[in-house]
A = this chain, B = another copy of it.
Amino acid sequence: MIEVKSFAGLRRFAPDKLQKLNLFETDGFFCDVYCLEPGQEQKAHAHAGSDKLYAVLEGTVTVSVGGETRELRAGEIVLCPAGSQHGLVNRSGARAALLVFMAPRP
């Protein structure tokens, strides 16, 4: 059964923390939408054997990978290689949303 979802329309924001909304999960990967209010973050962490992509769908986020920090705008994507410390924070005044892909699934 073919299952079409909307990554543009899937949003849920909450005042306490960033929201992770799953789109697809298989034996091999997951694909989520992350929704961040201003000030919300995903603290730096690492996955020993899994690579992750952060693709910014709307807003602006500050991403750290392996000790380096960059500001990403909508339309930009970054690789967080397996083993690297990575995290993100919404330092802007507006909501942000990202498409997040990780494989293999941890």
Which residue numbers of A lie inside 8 Å of B, CB to CB?
1-9, 23-24, 26-29, 31, 50-51, 53, 55, 63, 65-66, 68-70, 72, 74-79, 81-82, 99, 101, 103-104
Can you name the residue of chain B whose Cβ is closest to the Cβ of A8?
A: B75
Contact A78 B26, beta carbon cutoff 8 Å = no
Q: How far is the CB of A77 from chain B (nearest CB, A)?
A: 5
Residue in contact with A26 in the complex, picked from B7, B51, B70, CB distance below 8 Å: B51
Give chain A's interface secondary structure class: strand
Residue in contact with A76 in the complex, picked from B4, B26, B70, B72, CB distance below 8 Å: B4
Contact B31 A53, beta carbon cutoff 8 Å = yes
Contact B8 A74, beta carbon cutoff 8 Å = yes
Residue in contact with A7 in the complex, picked from B23, B51, B65, B75, CB distance below 8 Å: B75
Q: How far is the CB of A81 from chain B (nearest CB, A)?
A: 7
Contact A79 B6, beta carbon cutoff 8 Å = no
Contact B79 A8, beta carbon cutoff 8 Å = no
Contact A68 B31, beta carbon cutoff 8 Å = no
